[in-house]
Homo-oligomer: A and B are copies of this chain.
Amino acid sequence: MGRLEEFTVRPDPADARLVERVTGTDHTAAAIVTSVPVERPLTLFLNRQEVVTMMTIGDYPECLAVGYLANQNMLRADDAITAIDYDDDVETVVVRTERRTDYESKLRKKTLTSGCAQGTVFGDMMERFETVRLDTAAVVQTSWIYALSRKINSQPSIYLEAGAIHGCVLCEADRPLLYMEDVGRHNAVDKIAGYMRLNGVEPEGKIFYTTGRLTSEMVIKCVSMGIPILISRSGFTAWGVALARQAGLTLIGRAKGRRFITASGPERIIYDADPGEVAAERRAVQRKASLAEDAV
């Protein structure tokens, strides 16, 4: 497909299906009202087989379904999707394919991963991981890292409105393209994977930005999606770093204000920004900043 516009997908904190107002009391015993993200179940079927029930904020169910199946290797690159039936009332989404599928044995093997678990992420996901060759021509300019952080953190979002949510953003150079949020970080990743698959977005030259930790699961997914550069505000696990080095992924963590650390793939980084000129993040757009409550 053609060039995507900046924030082709962006959060919609004004959507009343995604954010609820709840009452409470604050530290002075005053009554307040505050916003919190919605969390609801969505049960995924692949053809006739129930695969999993996900706790999700509920937007982009088709992307979530397709991205989950793709990232779990249950949907092959050459699989033709014949229908995606989402039913809001019974909270189900059914993906139908030309190929007859049966993952009974796969569904019996479970691995809980560190950063918001997936049922079956290891095993054959590692097989795919080992075959991926990431784009060696891709680069990331340090000015892009600062520009992306600034644009993403100042974009109105459910995070800024209600907290308690993860965000993932597919980017190209200094342009955020697809910004998905979800109460489960794995869901935010899968929604981007699903959008890419359904819209033919190529991974080469792209940058994946996430608010979550750089664990083994996050690295495996990014590599499996074919994206050569992964940036997070959060830190690393040792296995996340080891897997990134094995795959030749550029792994940048603890990216806050002017600081960041590259733990893998530094050869893709072009130092074109003067960190001294990068202002400390404005408090107003800091992630993890206190949320506003309204007195009642």
Contact = CB atoms under 8 A, between A and B. Distances in A.
Interface residues of A, number: 74
Contacts of A107: 108, 110
A238 B39 contact: yes
A45 B271 CA distance: 49
Contacts of A80: none
A235 B19 CA distance: 13
A216 B39 contact: yes
B27 A258 contact: yes
A141 interface: no
Interface in A101-138: 107-108, 110-119, 122
B53 A111 contact: yes
A93 interface: no
Contact of A38 (B235, B238, B271): B238
A24 B242 CA distance: 12
B110 A26 contact: no
A260 B260 CA distance: 30
Interface string A154-198: 000000001110000000000000000001101100000000000
Interface in A204-241: 213-217, 234-241
Interface centre among A20, A23, A258 (most CB of B within 10 A): A20
A193 to B, nearest CB: 15
A66 to B, nearest CB: 16
A285 interface: no
A25 B237 contact: no
Interface in A253-285: 254, 256, 258-264, 266, 269, 271, 275
A290 B280 CA distance: 13
B217 A22 contact: no
Nearest to A122: B53
A83 interface: no
A99 interface: no
23 contacts: A22-B238, A23-B263, A24-B263, A25-B262, A26-B259, A27-B258, A28-B275, A36-B235, A39-B238, A55-B111, A55-B113, A112-B184, A112-B186, A113-B184, A115-B183, A119-B119, A163-B234, A164-B214, A164-B234, A183-B215, A183-B237, A254-B291, A288-B288
